[in-house]
Amino acid sequence: MATVITDQGRVHVDRLARIWEERPGILGWLTTTDHKRIGLMYFFTALVMFGAGGTEALLMRTQLIGPNHHLLSPEAYDEMFTMHGITMIFLFVIPMTTGAFGNYLLPLMIGARDMAFPRMNALSYWIYLGSGLLMYIALAQGHAPNAGWFDYVPLASKQFDPGNNIDYYGYGLIFNGISSTAASINFIVTIFKMRAPGMSLNRMPLFCFAFLAVAFALLFALPSLTVAALFLELDRQLGFHFYDVAFGGDPLLWQNLFWIFGHPEVYIIILPAFGIATAIIPTFTHRRMVFFPLVALGEILVAFLGFGVWVHHMFTVGFATITTVYFAAASLIIVIPSGIQLFAWIATILTGTPDFKTPLLFIVGFIVYFMLGGLSGVTLAAIPFDQQVHDSYYVVAHFHFVIFGAAVFPILGGMYFWFPKVTGRMYNETLGKISFWVTFIGTFITFFPMHIVGILGMPRRNYTYPAHLGWTLLNFIESIGAYILATGLLAIVFNLAISLFKGPAAGNDPFEGDTLEWSTTSPPPPYNYPVIPTVSSPYPMWDKEDRERDNRRLARGEGLLELGHETPATTAQDAIWDEILKMPSHSVWPPVTALTLFGVFFMLVMAHYWIAGGFLVACGLTLIGWHYKGVRV
Amino acid sequence: MTEPSSRAHRGLHPPQVTRSSAAFTASAAGRVARQRLAQPNGWWGMALFLCAEVALFGTMISSYFYLDFDAHRWPPAGIPDPSVLWPSIGTAVLVAMSVPMWLAARSARAGRRGPVLRLVSFAMVVQGAYLALQVVLLTQDLHKFKPQGSAYASIYYTLLVAHHAHVLFGLLLDVTILVFVSFRGLTNYWLIAVRGLALYWHVVNVIAVFVLVVTLAPSL
């Protein structure tokens, strides 16, 4: 039941609207600290990055459509697959899930009016934008990173890669890591401290558990990448010897550090998908999730266990058998929490009354690909098999089923699901279903033959292949599949773009959703909720009496917090109302601070260390400005 | 008219809840701090940031031993074993500064601005002296061997300089917070900042002990 506003309530709502009014125009967007606006900026930036990464993929598939093609030179092909990986992982999926979906939806779902640190939230976005620009400036100059997204030394060392391509990679990822670290701190504090009074941890939606797990995984995984990249740049720019065998260094140190980050990263990519699935499934099956506590635990366990499996990326480097066997066993244990969730999703769909609208279709597609990708994952945990197919297209097939089929499908489903909430308009259901089937089939045709071509021995990352090896037909099919897939994705964008202008009004709650965001208007007002919502279960929208109670409180003017940008802070576990916080509104400092940091990292790439130091001092000064103005301190 | 209060809805009535951002005097801010049931957001933010920092140093220390276990001789020939005396004295003094920082956080919660300023200033001077000593020691080391000479030298200097950078960052936090607390007063915002500062130094001090033990390991 949606909020009903009486005449008495209208007075309060108008007052809140005045207090929370956003600045108009471009300046309003530059200086905003509203989590919804920041979420939208993340969304559109990540979408552009998705387009860039997709274009790189299509260029590679076009090159490989037949043998001996030379659309891209070997050097350009290296840059393409490197930038494709970096873009899709660091500049598309993470910003799209944590940045866009997390930012926009998480405070709404927990009944808060903003994130815990609104200005730092804006800073995260601007740093992300800066890091994306930094790496695409490299591509525009023809110096894009070119040693793979995993960037193994010694290939990535100064000796074998003397340009500054890799420096863009090293500093770009450190820069990007600042954004993700700040964002994950922000998410954890928001989840722990900003939940509506009454939403104890066990009443928090599963979507939020998934994002909590992601935030913790990011927080502890990123330092490893930062250290690895720092060592790499010290080696490359100042002549240190972390990775140089001749001076007592070890290239395997890079591989270990990279994958200690890199494997948790895989779960950082997939866990938001789990979260989105657990938001969509109950709504369209009209029932609560089965095994709620087990699913919540499963989400957290996947993130936790993900830290103990990294060597399964390195089965061919020559570790002792005891080491590899341990990591193979650890990798297989992940099947348990993943399997619990998989069965819980399927059981919920089977025992509910599923209504296969577009968002649920994408979740079904996600379950199919997660299962297929999971099964090929089990085969890869078998060490002898892994050693045979290592660095072949079999691995490419496996991880694209998982991180495209499984991780991106819920993002696409989520785009449909929350489109009415964000825009106030409905998408076109028929075109939505068509776009699903085209994307689903395109994904299968693109990535399934890669299993076969991989077993036939086709290595990854080769810019072309000879005609007589029996790979030609399968590669042709894969490339056609890629075009079908691209058509499906364009159909989604087309559907949403047209619906933005032509779609019928959606109302507050078109799908009878279960979480709080459906109780407020579409799009939500800057203050999210006129009264701080009452919560007594993880499905607050299905607790009719709570929503009626909120309507009565609005009419009475109770629980409004209308003395400024106010929101409640609660205790971490039981969500007992502890204090009322006044949140900062628009601030010019986040983009300015991000700009100075961009200067620091750009100058480091260019090896102008003194200028970089100057920018760092400037960055410090902006932080003083940050605390000088803004909220009344 | 009031709603029947249930366990689920306790604490839902705003008049009982503090508007903590409105605490602009030291005594009001102290009262808010003592009434809180949970740690404030700023404390949580600092605690989580420090988790990332601990992970960062954990990774560097792991890398140190990873390279150590690879090596035939550690440190390699031509590099003297690290000297123990002065780094140990320096670290002991630095770690002792957790006491004034703890007292400063306590005074802040009690709403007493004077002791906060005096304790943080005292700690800052000593921490600054520690950094100066470390810079001197580092310069002496640089005369003996360069970071470009071997993997040992690379990780040795990187670990030390990363730690020094954290001490320097802490000193900048000290200064900033001292200035703001002096001129703005011990408001709710800056009270939480003082508590965050104390937490920062506690963790840096623990890291200092680990960095000391690791870098001295060849001599122990």
Chain-chain contact of B19 with A578 (C-beta, under 8 angstroms): no
Chain-chain contact of B38 with A193 (C-beta, under 8 angstroms): yes
Chain B nearest CA to A252, separation (Å): 10
Closest residue, chain B, to A245 (C-alpha): B151
Chain-chain contact of B151 with A242 (C-beta, under 8 angstroms): yes
CB A217 within 8 A of CB A264: yes
Which of A236, A577, A632 is best to mutate for the B interface (most B CBs within 10 A)?
A577
Q: Give the pLDDT confidence score for residue B13 in this predicted structure.
A: 52
List CB contacts (< 8 A) between B3 and chain A: 549
Q: Where are the beta strands (DSSP E) in A575-631?
A: 577-582
List CB contacts (< 8 A) between B9 and chain A: 197-198, 534, 536
CA A337/CA A291 separation, integer angstroms: 12
Chain B nearest CA to A470, separation (Å): 44
Q: Give the pLDDT confidence score for residue A556 in this predicted structure.
A: 86
List CB contacts (< 8 A) between A249 and chain B: 67, 151, 154
CB atoms within 10 A of CB A467: 10
List CB contacts (< 8 A) between A238 and chain B: 147-148
Q: Give the pLDDT confidence score for residue A11 in this predicted structure.
A: 87
Q: Which two tokens stand for residue B125?
A: 């001077």
Chain-chain contact of B60 with A227 (C-beta, under 8 angstroms): yes
Q: Which residue has the tokens 């937490």?
A: B199
CA B168/CA B29 separation, integer angstroms: 29
Percent of chain A beyond pLDDT 90?
92
CA A407/CA A80 separation, integer angstroms: 22
- pLDDT tens digits, one per residue of A415-437: 999 999 999 999 999 999 999 99
Chain-chain contact of A223 with B32 (C-beta, under 8 angstroms): no
Q: Give the pLDDT confidence score for residue A576 in this predicted structure.
A: 92
Mean predicted confidence (pLDDT) in B106-135: 97
List CB contacts (< 8 A) between B70 and chain A: 248, 250
Backbone angles phi, psi at A570, to 5 degrees: -125, 175
List CB contacts (< 8 A) between B56 and chain A: 223, 226-227
Percent of chain A beyond pLDDT 70?
99
Q: Give the pLDDT confidence score for residue B16 in this predicted structure.
A: 65
List CB contacts (< 8 A) between A578 and chain B: 11, 17, 36-38
Chain-chain contact of B14 with A559 (C-beta, under 8 angstroms): yes
- pLDDT tens digits, one per residue of B38-53: 999 999 999 999 999 9
Chain-chain contact of A117 with B176 (C-beta, under 8 angstroms): no
List CB contacts (< 8 A) between B180 and chain A: 627, 633
Minimal Cβ distance to B20: which of A234, A256, A580 = A580
Cα end-to-end distance, chain B, whole Å:
73
Closest residue, chain B, to A226 (C-alpha): B56
Closest residue, chain B, to A224 (C-alpha): B59
Of A20-34, A466-480, B12-26, minimum mean pLDDT range: B12-26
List CB contacts (< 8 A) between B168 and chain A: none
Q: Give the pLDDT confidence score for residue A153 in this predicted structure.
A: 94
CB B49 within 8 A of CB A185: yes
Q: Give the pLDDT confidence score for residue A8 in this predicted structure.
A: 78
User: What are B18's strand-pairing partners?
Assistant: A579
**pLDDT at residue A286 tops 60:** yes
Minimal Cβ distance to A633: which of B76, B147, B190 = B190
Closest residue, chain B, to A190 (C-alpha): B41
Q: Give the pLDDT confidence score for residue A283 in this predicted structure.
A: 96
Q: Give the pLDDT confidence score for residue B5 in this predicted structure.
A: 41
CA A33/CA A20 separation, integer angstroms: 11
Chain B nearest CA to A311, separation (Å): 15
CA A186/CA A198 separation, integer angstroms: 21
Minimal Cβ distance to B55: which of A223, A230, A256 = A223
Chain-chain contact of B59 with A568 (C-beta, under 8 angstroms): no
List CB contacts (< 8 A) between A535 and chain B: 8
List CB contacts (< 8 A) between B8 and chain A: 198, 535-536
Minimal Cβ distance to A559: which of B12, B151, B187 = B12
Taking the whole predicted model, whether its pTM rises above 0.80 is answered as yes
What interhelical angle do B98-109 and B85-96 show, nearest 10? 10
Minimal Cβ distance to B150: which of A248, A250, A570 = A248
Chain B nearest CA to A536, separation (Å): 6
Omega prior to A154 cis, within 30 of 0: yes
- pLDDT tens digits, one per residue of A236-271: 999 999 999 999 999 999 999 999 999 999 999 999
Chain-chain contact of A241 with B20 (C-beta, under 8 angstroms): no
Q: Give the pLDDT confidence score for residue A633 in this predicted structure.
A: 41
Q: How confident is the model at residue A603 (pLDDT cuts 50, 70, 90)?
A: very high
List CB contacts (< 8 A) between B45 and chain A: 116-117, 120, 185-186, 189
Interface size, chain A vs chain B, as Cβ–Cβ contacts under 8 Å: 173
Report chain A's mean pLDDT, rounded to a whole number: 94
Q: Give the pLDDT confidence score for residue B9 in this predicted structure.
A: 43
Q: Give the pLDDT confidence score for residue A572 in this predicted structure.
A: 93
Chain A nearest CA to B32, separation (Å): 9
Mean predicted confidence (pLDDT) in A474-480: 97
Chain-chain contact of A620 with B21 (C-beta, under 8 angstroms): no
Chain-chain contact of A581 with B70 (C-beta, under 8 angstroms): no
Chain-chain contact of A226 with B56 (C-beta, under 8 angstroms): yes
List CB contacts (< 8 A) between B155 and chain A: 242
Report chain B's mean pLDDT, rounded to a whole number: 91
Mean predicted confidence (pLDDT) in A122-135: 97
Within a 13 Å sphere around the CA of A171, how many CA atoms are in the beta-carbon half? 29
**pLDDT at residue B6 tops 50:** no
CA A2/CA A516 separation, integer angstroms: 10
**pLDDT at residue B56 tops 90:** yes
Q: What is the DSSP secondary-structure string of A150-204?
A: TT-TTTTSTTT--SSHHHHHHHHHHHHHHHHHHHHHHHHHHHHH-SPTT--GGGS
Chain-chain contact of B17 with A568 (C-beta, under 8 angstroms): yes
**pLDDT at residue A146 tops 70:** yes
- pLDDT tens digits, one per residue of A79-89: 999 999 999 99
- pLDDT tens digits, one per residue of A353-407: 999 999 999 999 999 999 999 999 999 999 999 999 999 999 999 999 999 999 9
Q: How confident is the model at residue B15 (pLDDT cuts 50, 70, 90)?
A: low
- pLDDT tens digits, one per residue of A511-529: 999 999 999 999 999 999 9
Q: Which two tokens stand for residue A583?
A: 């949140």
CA A617/CA A192 separation, integer angstroms: 33
Mean predicted confidence (pLDDT) in A213-222: 97
Q: Could you write out the three-class secondary structure of A422-481?
A: HHCECCCHHHHHHHHHHHHHHHHHHHHHHHHHHHCCCECCCCCCCHHHCCHHHHHHHHHH
Chain A nearest CA to B61, separation (Å): 11
Closest residue, chain A, to B33 (C-alpha): A579
Chain-chain contact of A220 with B76 (C-beta, under 8 angstroms): no
**pLDDT at residue B10 tops 50:** no
**pLDDT at residue A36 tops 90:** yes
